[in-house]
Amino acid sequence: MKKFISIFHILITFLSSAQVVQFYDDKSKENVNYTVTTINAVGMPVKDSDVDGIFFSKKGSTYYKRVTPDNRINVLWYGNNSDAINKAIKASIHYFGTQAIQIAEVYMPAAIYDIDKTIEIKSVKGFKLTGAGTSTTLRLRNGVNINDMILFNGVAYGYLGNFEVVGETGRVKNVIRSVWGDGISNPPAGSLRSSTKNKFENIHIHGETKFDTGVFLDGSNQNDETELINITIAGNINDADKTLYNNAFKIGNGTFGNNLSHTFIDCQANQVRNAFYFNNVGGVVIGRGAQNCNTYILRTGSNETLSVDGVRLEGIGMIYNHNSIHYAGDNITLKNIWYSGLGRGLRGAPADGNIITHTGGTMNIIGCRFLDPLPGTNFKITSANSARGSNLQITSNLNIFGLNFQGSYRGVEDLINAGAPTSVNAIGILVLNKERSGIDSFPPFYKKYAVKP
């Protein structure tokens, strides 16, 4: 009897006329309340097959149900690996999945969780998977090779955050991927859209984790209105292996219109080829920035509106590179960007010094400061046609307001390389140069707006 009490530490109390039993959980190291019950999780009479030792227990002929305040499930009830997290997720959806939005939370307390298979959240609204901050670590197990570490598969109004990711010899293609249910191109009517009102927050992916893409908002078939806040993704580029560290954030799969209105706030990318890869989609990027990446923003295909504001870029080869057809109706705004080509490790320096390539639609560059081009290069902004054909004419509009250059250049006319048909408006360009000064070589279309240093 003493041994029984030392293990379960039973305490019988009464609370609001309901009998409560308190057991000690050896896995999560906490006292847990159970209430007497005659009903199982689906409203049917409870029976022995419902007893799992976690949610339902039985002592003598009496059944008890675990008390779960705020519908929170502790992963440590099941263990500290990917199997435990998946069991906690399935239990959460099973026990709380019939309720309204914000149905449940799976909580990962401070611990190291060994991951050897995908953590999947599937076909649910309002699901929340959260840790305790940097003391919650998801560690990719050595030798493992998986496609996704965390998969939001048909999730809406979900939340993911407050943990870090590390690894050694294991590999993962996408650390986090969000996709419409099962990635099918034509989901059945009424099915959930992944990334609808989802929020990812306070996640740090460390450089020793071997990944291709940090966060992938897949375009199969619809993703929209994702909010990403304070996400830091660090790679460790090895030019000998092109399958690693390609993108910190990848948005879209190249299918027009299948990603809409994503917002990135205070996100940081280090030592990856592309900080952001927008593939047939636009979005909003606000704050933080990138270090030692080939390209800050790579875009392909026709795109929605893109706005970038208040970022700091160091050791970046190109700020913006759109390298395919870009429709005239699209609009790109680069605002309050601080850029320096100098960094701890230079990446992807373009041979011609091109830091911005704009190939169609309207681009606005407002209130930016560009310092120190990459060694051996000169600053250049190119706005030109990306494609022409007998029935296709792609035009570019380039508007520059309050731009400060500091560094070397062959001649100020080289700062803007406008290929026809391009409309250029430039107001308030200040060029500070250690080697020469003067604005005598400004082209006529913006010479009168330049400010002589």
Residue 435 has pLDDT above 70, yes or no: no
Q: Whose CA is closest to 219, among 188, 246, 191, 193? A: 193
**What is the token pair recorded at 298?**
């790579």
According to DSSP, residue 82 is labeled H
Specify the pLDDT at position 429.
74
Specify the pLDDT at position 431.
67
Give the span between the Cα atoms of 386 and 359, in whole angstroms: 5
Give the span between the Cα atoms of 451 and 438, in whole angstroms: 9
Structural domain 69-447, CATH architecture:
3 Solenoid (2.160)
Query: Which residues neighbour 239 within 8 Å (Cβ) at sequence distance 6 or greater?
Result: none
Residue 15 has pLDDT above 70, yes or no: no
Give the span between the Cα atoms of 415 and 445, in whole angstroms: 13
Detail the DSSP E strand segments found in 311-352: 312-314, 318-322, 331-335, 338-340
The listed range with the strongest mean pLDDT (106-110, 251-255, 445-449) is 106-110
Residue 38 has pLDDT above 70, yes or no: yes
Q: Is 86 left (phi over 0), alpha (psi -120 to 50) or beta?
A: alpha
Average pLDDT over residues 17-24: 73
Give the span between the Cα atoms of 259 and 225, in whole angstroms: 9
Identify the weakest region by mean pLDDT among 60-64, 171-175, 386-390: 386-390
How many residues are listed for the chain in this entry? 453
Q: Whose CA is closest to 150, among 114, 119, 171? A: 119
**What is the token pair recorded at 42?**
């689906």
Average pLDDT over residues 427-437: 60
Amino acid type, 316: I
Average pLDDT over residues 441-450: 39
Q: For the purposes of burial, counting CB atoms within 10 Å of the CB of 440, is it exposed (0-12), middle (13-18) or buried (19 or more)?
A: exposed
Phi and psi at residue 87, to the nearest 5°: -65, -40
Return the residue matching tokens 């160091």. Answer: 314
Higher pLDDT, 399 or 195: 399
Specify the pLDDT at position 30.
83
* Residue 362, CB-side half-sphere exposure with 13 Å CA sphere: 10
Write out the H or E segment, with its range, that includes residue 342: none
Residues of the chain with CATH 2.160.20: 69-447
Contact 384, 424 (CB under 8 A): no
Average pLDDT over residues 390-397: 51
Query: Which residues neighbour 92 within 8 Å (Cβ) at sequence distance 6 or greater?
Result: 71, 73, 103, 104, 105, 106, 127
Specify the pLDDT at position 145.
96
Q: Whose CA is closest to 322, among 392, 384, 243? A: 384
Identify the weakest region by mean pLDDT among 215-224, 226-235, 282-291: 215-224
The listed range with the strongest mean pLDDT (2-11, 58-67, 204-213) is 204-213
- Bond before 221 cis per omega within 30 degrees: yes
Higher pLDDT, 415 or 160: 160
Q: What is the mean pLDDT of the chain?
A: 79
| ∠ CA 269-277-252, rounded to 5° | 130
Return the residue matching tokens 């994702």. Answer: 226
